[in-house]
């Protein structure tokens, strides 16, 4: 059975972001997709220090939840990253987690399906959405689409439950993501994954 992991980057386990993610889970259940909801918000996550030790060890030098989650991510077919908007950007602890996760984990993420979900009261959603999607696209992860940008609006979970278009967007996103995960699974069996070139690594300037 295909599996999708959903990360709640908000410290509120039943808040606005969680409400959006749970709307997706209802659809995944109907589609026969296994899910795991990860409450990341509230965990103490330090940032990457650029030591590069992960390049030889295959894991982050800080042996915390990042390494634990990497094992789950390796086996998953898709990843949904949910975040509230703080000053027009995603949750800082979530970004620290994602920086370390994507940089330190050596396994291929090619054609795992990604989706970003963002929540705010009024503004900053699309800027945060762009930030989160960059983790997927640099990693060869196709981004699941919906019928609007993947966002909900509200100051409370009750507000989000009144955002009918936002919840509709979450359901359509989950349906599309389910389709992609299933289709890619079949295509990998039939065709294999596309070749990935890694030889070129261009740096500009002489470093002085």
Number of domains in the chain: 1
Any domain includes 15: yes
Residue 130, in any domain of the structure: yes
The answer to whether residue 208 scores a pLDDT higher than 60 is no
The span from the CA of 93 to the CA of 10, in Å, is 9
Q: Is residue 173 part of a domain?
A: yes
Contact 11, 83 (CB under 8 A): no
pTM listed for this prediction: 0.95
Residue 55, CA atoms < 13 Å, CB-side half-sphere: 3
Cα–Cα distance list, 58 to 3, 37, 111, 135, 206 (Å): 23, 25, 21, 19, 29
Shortest CA distance to 82 belongs to which of 29, 132, 156?
A: 132
Average pLDDT of the residues in 12-34? 98
Residue 78 has pLDDT above 80, yes or no: yes
- Asked whether residue 123 is domain-assigned, the answer is yes
Residue pLDDT, tens place only, 59-69: 999 999 999 99
Q: Is the pLDDT of residue 204 over 90?
A: no
Place 153 in a pLDDT band, splitting at 50, 70 and 90: very high
Is position 208 within any domain? Answer: no
Average of per-residue pLDDT across 75-98: 97
In this prediction, residue 85 has a pLDDT band, given cuts at 50, 70 and 90, of: very high
Greater model confidence, 73 or 201? 73
Domain membership of residue 20 (yes or no) is yes
Q: Is residue 207 over pLDDT 60?
A: no
pLDDT tens per residue, range 103-143: 999 999 999 999 999 999 999 999 999 999 999 999 999 99
What percentage of the chain exceeds 90 in pLDDT?
95
Within-domain flag for 81: yes
In a domain, 203, yes or no: no
Q: The domain that contains 31 carries what CATH number?
A: 3.40.50.360
Residue 187 Ramachandran class (φ > 0 left, ψ -120 to 50 alpha, else beta): alpha
Return the pLDDT at 206. 63
Q: What is the pLDDT of residues 163-187, one digit of tens each?
A: 999 999 999 999 999 999 999 999 9
Domain containing residue 151: 3-191
CA 123 to mean position of chain CA atoms = 21
């Amino acid at each position: 059975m295909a599996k999708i992991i959903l990360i709640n980057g908000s410290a509120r386990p039943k808040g606005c972001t969680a409400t959006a993610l749970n709307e997706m889970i209802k659809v995944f259940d109907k589609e026969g997709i296994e899910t795991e909801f990860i409450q990341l918000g509230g965990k103490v996550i330090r940032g990457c220090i650029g030591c590069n030790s992960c390049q030889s060890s295959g894991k982050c030098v800080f042996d915390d939840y990042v390494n634990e989650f990497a094992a789950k991510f390796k086996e998953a077919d898709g990843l949904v990253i949910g975040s509230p908007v703080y000053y027009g950007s995603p949750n800082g602890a979530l970004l620290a987690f994602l920086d370390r996760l994507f940089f330190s984990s050596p396994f291929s993420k090619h054609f795992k399906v990604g989706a970003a979900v963002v929540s705010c009261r009024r503004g900053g959603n699309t800027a945060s959405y762009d930030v989160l999607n960059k983790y997927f696209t640099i990693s060869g992860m196709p981004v699941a689409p919906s019928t609007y940008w993947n966002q909900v609006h509200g100051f409370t979970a009750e507000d989000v439950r009144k955002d009918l278009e936002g919840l509709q967007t979450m359901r359509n996103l989950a349906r599309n993501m389910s389709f992609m995960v299933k289709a890619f699974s079949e295509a990998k069996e039939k065709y294999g994954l596309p070749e990935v070139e890694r030889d070129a690594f261009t740096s500009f300037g002489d470093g002085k």
